[in-house]
């Protein structure tokens, strides 16, 4: 595997992982909102936690190169597409 190819596979896979984390976390939160004692607090806490993890992950994966961030974002979007097909809209 060439260095250039490997340079973009890792960020894409990281984006897939971050996307799965984000969208499964969102799915979990939405499913629990109807029975939550404090739905606004649950929604806000989930949003803040997911965003902190995602932004931190993007920053680490990026390593100062916008190309790596772009590939990571493509993986993130691909994870959404995969999960929509798997879990339903």
Per-residue confidence band for 1, with pLDDT thresholds at 50, 70 and 90 = low
Q: Taken in order 79, 84, 87, 89, is the CA torsion positive or negative?
A: positive
Residues 43-80 pLDDT 10s: 999 999 999 999 999 999 999 999 999 999 999 999 99
The domain segmentation of the chain, as residue ranges, is 13-87
Q: Helices 66-87 and 3-32 sit at what angle, rounded to 10 degrees?
A: 40
Task: Return the pLDDT at 79.
Answer: 96
What burial letters (b/e) apply to 50-68, b meaning 16+ CB within 10 Å? beeebeebbeebbeeeeeb
Query: Residues 15, 71: contact at Cβ < 8 Å?
Result: yes
Task: Return the pLDDT at 89.
Answer: 66
Residues 20-46 pLDDT 10s: 999 999 999 999 999 999 999 999 999
């Amino acid at each position: 595997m060439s260095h250039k190819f490997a340079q973009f596979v890792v960020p894409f896979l990281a984006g897939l992982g971050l996307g799965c984390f984000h969208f499964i976390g969102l799915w979990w939160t939405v499913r629990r909102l109807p029975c939550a004692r404090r739905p606004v607090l649950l929604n806000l806490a989930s949003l803040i936690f997911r965003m902190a993890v995602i932004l931190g992950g993007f920053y680490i994966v990026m390593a100062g190169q916008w190309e790596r961030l772009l590939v990571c974002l493509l993986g993130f979007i691909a994870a959404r597409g995969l999960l929509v097909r798997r879990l339903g809209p």
